[in-house]
Structure 1
């Protein structure tokens, strides 16, 4: 029997849609009160007159003692009248044109919600199917269906998750998040359940005119364990502004390899001597959360210039076992530039070079800096203005502070070079040899993975044809501009606005 033909026994009710409708009415009342209508009697009277004009007939309204009670009476009357909510929307737009409250009320009225669109019989079938069912990575599926940056409570099962998503507005593409969630769940299910959920979803998407987006979503789906997808743990370390021996550590953990950006996972102030152990705990916690995922994992450290020589590539995890395990055995490890992350004036050039690297990952596009590049002010800037250069190998490790007019790291970041490499003590000739091996054969895009392989080879004491031991301390600044990190509701902010951003981040 198809989803559109299902029948259900008599006497069964689903006490779920009406509760959400009440929540929508309450939200509308709050919007009107926020617009000042609870305290302004004359504006409320004008609002009612405008509603009547838009409807073409008078609503029956009772006298109420308080302004908020009057708003509740008006909203409830509009909800019960044919065209009443649209009349309310038009009235508020005339009364408060261009205001945030008018825009929010318009969305509440016009954007379809699942509880208003699905017949009760369909919801009964879905509840029976999803109750008690918990697909792998349930929370990640909810976040992906709603919004990667949207905080989501832990659902008990797939039905709880669906109920949660019915309270989300439908995006412009027309497929409600709740139906997107069902599609994601169906992709994780074996037959016949997966086929039944997809059939059910096809009917519902047709009902809400979301078929185009549903087809696109199905085309995007990849089988579980698809190659090329990685989970990322991004760890940002900053020097405390008051005590240089203390560091502020934040982290972002993907729960779905297709999801970006994940929400900030928290912030802690750690003494320098405890940094490695704190990162150890973050990694172990991430591995526990990823226990059911088949994807590979990558570690990224977002560092300010003062910390780019922090030896994160030599750190270990699982110290509590008494036998710490080097991170490079399990993960490719790269650093990223904190300064570039929150300098949007550099992002256009950055994105151009990154896209060029994806299209032409050739070893011929690596520039090896020379000491004489720093002899003349802005000489390196002129060299790197040539768009063929996508990777830069520094002649020496960057200093804690830039040298005006002649600094390799600062110049590389400003000109958009997405990949910068250096070594703490290797000679220029040895470094050139090892980098040439890493990027040989158009494998520039695999640089982090190739470096991990070389580090493993060095641990196995394989030293032919090049000395892989040099790769142990090779620093890779590998910066993907499509994966910016977020502290709150925007990109990472500069120090001038950090204090207020910190408070919002902690509150969230």
Structure 2
């Protein structure tokens, strides 16, 4: 989020800077930019160019990305060249085009110096992914996710300073720094708190809003380790039936998901492992996730629900292995996600299951056509039925044929387990009974262990028929719906 200027105004600003003799040559310009960075308390992140016009263009873009930077540059140039008419003209143009920031220049520098200290002394290399999660807590649901690439907390602070006052009239920047103080650790924690208190006094805010001991509503609860979810959506392409538009999100707990991949290029299923491998090894937010736990969820259309996605092979540091033995892997229904009319029974059953997950009743079907579709729908619609187990795969014929799996989804069942290759009914009943016993909420991790056991059997030449090699687990959390499918709700 940067100050918005049209092309004409950008050109005016660039030309005004180039008219200042000391800013028209890159070598001299670098000296003043260095002075500016010292004044701001952090570096300006932009790509330098050999051509003067392009280099100044990049500088202007950086100035607009950091509140107060353009005004600080004018102040520095006035100090060096107090009688310069081009400097005076530049100052007038900046005053016209760039709003005066609400945060005092000296206090902004103190904040950025504190963040620099935090980066150097208090945080491990994965800090950025962890502390970025404080951004949505500060801005609330009304504001979008970060809309520009960020390389440090300095960038996050610059974005937040441009957002007007949020809940209770408190600027989101103060909420963010207040939260940051809770988790940063000494010695910067105390300094961050003092900084927030000064801003409360200067801005005329109610001091109680940011006093941790008196305001549990603003000071967040300690960050507890949260489950991380890597969500891979495969949406059918309208032009090519065997290709899919792939979107990937990283979600921490119930925080809004951050988009990692959203390509207009439709991919074949064979390319999905390649994408997974890249996200797991090169995506900074995945590598720097707040806790090591990670569940991979495939959001799939009905035609793909029976794909053995957990058997996808990836290569990590030269070791090729199936993702299903390293991470809990589950599938979710894209069709149900897209059909808002199906969300009410789904949410209702998930809420019930969340409070009754230990030894929850299981509806077991061992053969296709075991009961009439309407009879099955009626049976599965019961309030206390939220888990379905089937010894057979979904119907592989016409997509709209309502098989048992689809009836379960329409009825709102959030947890469905089935065997992809068909199974002897008695054998499946024995195997799935042990798997679904105890706490259903821990089923993804128990399934991970089952898949590991199956692979051990394969290596010994005894486990090719192990259920762990043929089991699909649909584990559809109705509390965590990706943003494109969230229904708008009235304000609380």
TM norm structure 2:
0.68
Of the three residues 171, 179, 203, the one matched with 1:176 is: 171
Q: Does the aligned pair in 2 maintain the 1:202–1:211 contact within 8 Å?
A: no
Q: Distance in 2 between matches of 1:278 and 1:475?
A: 21
How far off its partner does 1:433 sit?
2.0
How far off its partner does 1:289 sit?
4.2
Q: Distance in 2 between matches of 1:20 and 1:413?
A: 56
Of the three residues 454, 462, 466, the one matched with 2:450 is: 454
Unaligned residue ranges in structure 1 (runs of 5+)? 1-11, 22-74, 77-107, 493-508
Q: Distance in 1 between matches of 2:347 and 2:218?
A: 29
Distance 1:354-1:212 versus aligned 2 partners, 3 A rule: farther
Give the match for residue 312 of structure 2: 315
Q: Distance in 2 between matches of 1:281 and 1:161?
A: 25
How far off its partner does 1:389 sit?
0.4
Q: In the TM superposition, what whole-angstrom CA distance separates every residue of 1:255-299 from its partner, at most 9, and x where no partner exists?
A: x55522323522242234333333333333347742464331110
Q: Describe the SS at the equivalent of 2:297.
A: strand
Mean CA deviation greater in 416-425 or 127-136: 127-136
Q: Distance in 2 between matches of 1:133 and 1:364?
A: 47
Q: In the TM superposition, what whole-angstrom CA distance separates every residue of 1:415-441 from its partner, at most 9, and x where no partner exists?
A: 111111111122222222222212323
Give the match for residue 240 of structure 2: 243
How far off its partner does 1:130 sit?
2.4
Q: Describe the SS at the equivalent of 1:244.
A: coil
Distance 1:391-1:120 versus aligned 2 partners, 3 A rule: same
Give the match for residue 49 of structure 1: none
Give the match for residue 486 of structure 1: 483
Give the match for residue 57 of structure 2: none
How far off its partner does 1:156 sit?
4.5
Q: Describe the SS at the equivalent of 1:460.
A: helix
Distance 1:428-1:200 versus aligned 2 partners, 3 A rule: farther
RMSD: 3.8
Give the match for residue 352 of structure 2: 356
Asked if 1:265 is matched to 2:261, the reply is yes
Q: In the TM superposition, what whole-angstrom CA distance separates every residue of 1:191-246 from its partner, at most 9, and x where no partner exists?
A: 121122124324535643374477346653324xx34x121111111333322332
How far off its partner does 1:395 sit?
4.2
Of the three residues 389, 393, 397, the one matched with 2:385 is: 389
Distance 1:360-1:20 versus aligned 2 partners, 3 A rule: farther
How far off its partner does 1:448 sit?
0.3
How far off its partner does 1:329 sit?
2.4
Of the three residues 308, 327, 330, the one matched with 1:331 is: 327
TM norm structure 1:
0.66
Q: How does 1:82-101 map to 2 (within 5 A)?
A: none
Q: In the TM superposition, what whole-angstrom CA distance separates every residue of 1:341-397 from its partner, at most 9, and x where no partner exists?
A: 111111111111111111001334211125476543411111112111011112421
Of the three residues 110, 114, 122, the one matched with 1:125 is: 110
Distance 1:264-1:170 versus aligned 2 partners, 3 A rule: farther
Asked if 1:161 is matched to 2:156, the reply is yes
Q: Distance in 1 between matches of 2:182 and 2:398?
A: 50
Q: Distance in 2 between matches of 1:271 and 1:190?
A: 47
Q: Describe the SS at the equivalent of 1:237.
A: strand
Q: How does 1:99-138 map to 2 (within 5 A)?
A: 115-116=101-102, 118-119=103-104, 121-131=106-116, 133-134=118-119, 135=123, 136-137=127-128, 138=131
Distance 1:269-1:375 versus aligned 2 partners, 3 A rule: same
Q: Distance in 1 between matches of 2:437 and 2:168?
A: 43
Number of equivalences: 385
Give the match for residue 222 of structure 1: 222
Give the match for residue 410 of structure 1: 406
Q: Does the aligned pair in 1 maintain the 2:138–2:173 contact within 8 Å?
A: yes
How far off its partner does 1:314 sit?
0.8
Q: In the TM superposition, what whole-angstrom CA distance separates every residue of 1:52-103 from its partner, at most 9, and x where no partner exists?
A: xxxxxxxxxxxxxxxxxxxxxxx99xxxxxxxxxxxxxxxxxxxxxxxxxxx
Give the match for residue 228 of structure 2: 231
How far off its partner does 1:333 sit?
0.2
Q: Describe the SS at the equivalent of 1:263.
A: strand
Q: How does 1:11-30 map to 2 (within 5 A)?
A: none
Q: In the TM superposition, what whole-angstrom CA distance separates every residue of 1:123-170 from its partner, at most 9, and x where no partner exists?
A: 343233224643512544445533574133334543442222110122
Q: How does 1:362-401 map to 2 (within 5 A)?
A: 362-371=358-367, 374-400=370-396
Unaligned residue ranges in structure 2 (runs of 5+)? 1-37, 41-62, 72-94, 488-492
Q: Distance in 2 between matches of 1:237 and 1:165?
A: 33
Of the three residues 426, 431, 438, the one matched with 1:429 is: 426
Q: Does the aligned pair in 1 maintain the 2:256–2:483 contact within 8 Å?
A: no
